[in-house]
Chain A
Amino acid sequence: MSSFLKVDNVTMQFGGVTAIDSLSFEVQKGQIYGLIGPNGAGKTTIFNIITGNLHPTKGRILLNGEDITGTKPNKVVYKGIARTFQNIRLFKSMSVLDNILIGFDARAKYSYFEAILRLPRYFKYERELKEKAYELMEIFGISQFADYFATELSYGNQRKVEIARALATNPKLLLLDEPAAGMNPNETADLSEIIHKIKRDFDLTILLIEHDMKFVNAMCDSVTVLDYGEKIFEGKPADAIVNEKVVTAYLGDFTHA
């Protein structure tokens, strides 16, 4: 059985700087896979390569055996990959409902003229997708905020909106860039519960970047540790925290975490 997502020998150079050096790892279907490492290790760069924002200098990205290297970012979504951002990037002037509807909009099959003339298909899809958006918000427990502006919500809830928005595109692979960053322990616990739930309900494979080792330990089936663009460890998260190389990379930061 081949892997679901395969990062195959990827190298990314910015000018003379090698951000990622011949990195390979494989994510199996249904896994929650962690990508960890100190600041500047190249974690977000890998995300940007998978989502097509960056074109790797060398190497390939395979999704379900299909080569998706260099697919445009807006097309990658239709291959079934959705992402969230490290610093939450919601659409600030729009309501929570509209933010989530944007994710569904690819499935609204009405044309520009049908929208202008308000033909029946417009009403059909708008009603249908609005219902789906409410269902999704219900799962995240944010449906009472539907009419609020995204920026009026608490940090934790904004993160939920962002994940819900990504889920609305109907992905098979979800990329979460530091989902628990800046959250208090309660919010983090809440978040891990939701991630487990959506993974089950939506039959997802999840790749996440995280600093919080407790969170990684609780969440991930498997991790890859990066340092200066190189893989220094791959395996179970519990083994990662006792690995000498990993500890050195983090300067012992999490031995007492």
Chain B
Amino acid sequence: MNKIVRNLILIAAVIAFIIFAQNTIEPYDLRIINNIAIFLILALSYNLINGVTGQFSLEPNGFIAIGAYFTAIMLIPTETKVDMYALVDPAPVILQMHSSFLVAIITGGIAASFIALLLSIPVFRVRGDYLAIVTLGFGFIIRIFAINNPEYTNGALGLNDIPQTANLYWTGGIALVAFIVMIHIIYSKFGRAMKSVRDDEDAATAMGINTFKMKTYAFMTSAFFEGVGGGLLASYLSTITPDQFSFLLTFQLLIIIVLGGLGSMSGTLVATILVMGGMEMLRFLDEEINIFGLHFDAHPGMRMVVFSILLIVMMLFARKGLLGDRELSDIFKRKKSR
């Protein structure tokens, strides 16, 4: 009972913060918070397949792109589409697709999830490094498909004038839902099965676990939220191009989940705030600096250098990430029981 009350208070606090932030915080700071919320959705779902299930895959940019394009196409009004598709006329199906915001992002998620289902059959035949390479290839294919099929995606020009419906109510709200869903999965028989696949696949099989099924569940759930997150990103930025969904996006998410601890959702939460917030806080390093009468010229890109050094130092002192594979609540619980 105590635990339920505590969780309800936490959820209420998060909702209160979202309402407060959306209404009072400056647009620039609000943008950072929105960014954190969207990346939290992406990183949490990426952590489910990479951290919890232990299947080192590199495909989230592909799923994010699928979600983003589906949402963008469904949100842009038909008249705008006719003008926007400059290279070739849009395919009829593109002109017909139109819906409300909620339906659009959920469609993006379901589309990504469905592709994940198809993809799981070939990719989970391989393990380890091979899985990483196969999934990396998938990310590239999606980007190349987007560039080379202008009748659907407007090619390299991308889509713009996407209605900016996404605000912190959407991004923060869905991030909260994603977090709760992930925690509910982890603390159930499915979460246990996924972790057992990560720890020892043969022993998991010997316990009657269908490891392929568990990997597919994790992969589809992960793809769903990556698709939804991609949709939010498209609506929030109001413009998308294929180059936005390059491998660098996956890499950024990978930094977050490794820093937070593979398999730890609360670690991902902390790491997302540190990485996305930290990048902004270090922005002063790009400008000229005067300290103790010393003058340093502006070096654009300096913050990336400092940020990388900070990451390296962190990984040296916390090999398994900030929280390892445990949740914050586990750590408190264990302290008490000893």
Contact = CB atoms under 8 A, between A and B. Distances in A.
A102 B209 contact: yes
Interface stretch (A92-100, A223-231, A232-240): A92-100
Given A74-B207, A94-B195, 4 more contacts: A51-B206, A85-B206, A105-B209, A110-B189
A94 B199 contact: yes
Interface in A111-126: 112, 115-118, 122, 125-126
A195 interface: no
Contacts of A166: 207
Given A115-B190, A116-B185, A169 B198 contact: no
B222 to A, nearest CB: 13
Contacts of B181: 116
Contact of B207 (A77, A93, A108, A125): A77
A91 interface: yes
A78 interface: yes
B191 to A, nearest CB: 8
A94 B263 CA distance: 12
A74 B205 contact: yes
B252 interface: no
Interface in A100-157: 101-103, 105-106, 108, 110, 112, 115-118, 122, 125-126, 147
A159 interface: no
B244 interface: no
A114 to B, nearest CB: 9
Interface string A152-180: 00000000000001100100000000000
Nearest to A101: B192
Interface string B134-159: 00000000000000000000000000
A89 B202 contact: yes
A83 interface: yes
Q: Which of A74, A117, A169 has the most CB of B within 10 A?
A: A74
A166 B206 CA distance: 9
Given A74-B210, A112-B217, A85 B198 contact: no
B325 interface: yes
Contact of A89 (B198, B200, B337): B200
Contacts of A118: 184
B199 A93 contact: yes
Contact-residue size bin, chain A (C-beta under 8 Å from the other chain):
35 or more
B295 interface: no
Contacts of B189: 101, 105, 108, 110, 115, 125
Contacts of B203: 85, 89-91
A153 B184 CA distance: 28
A38 interface: no
Contacts of B210: 74
A73 interface: yes
Contact of A105 (B192, B200, B211, B217): B192
Interface residues of B, number: 29
Contact of B208 (A77, A112, A117, A147): A77
B188 interface: yes
A91 B195 contact: yes
Contacts of A126: 188
B323 to A, nearest CB: 12
Contacts of B198: 93
Given A105-B193, A116-B185, A91 B205 contact: no
A231 B72 CA distance: 69
A80 B199 CA distance: 24
B196 interface: yes
B334 interface: yes
A147 B333 CA distance: 9
Contacts of B207: 74, 77, 102-103, 105, 165-166, 169
B190 A77 contact: no
Contacts of B208: 74-75, 77-78, 106, 169
A73 B192 contact: no
A87 to B, nearest CB: 11
A115 B188 contact: yes
Interface string B77-100: 000000000000000000000000
A160 B208 CA distance: 19
A176 to B, nearest CB: 13
Contacts of A94: 192, 195-196, 199
A102 B196 contact: yes
Contacts of B211: 74
17 contacts: A74-B208, A74-B211, A89-B200, A89-B203, A91-B199, A92-B200, A93-B198, A93-B263, A94-B192, A94-B199, A101-B189, A102-B209, A108-B189, A126-B188, A147-B333, A147-B334, A147-B337
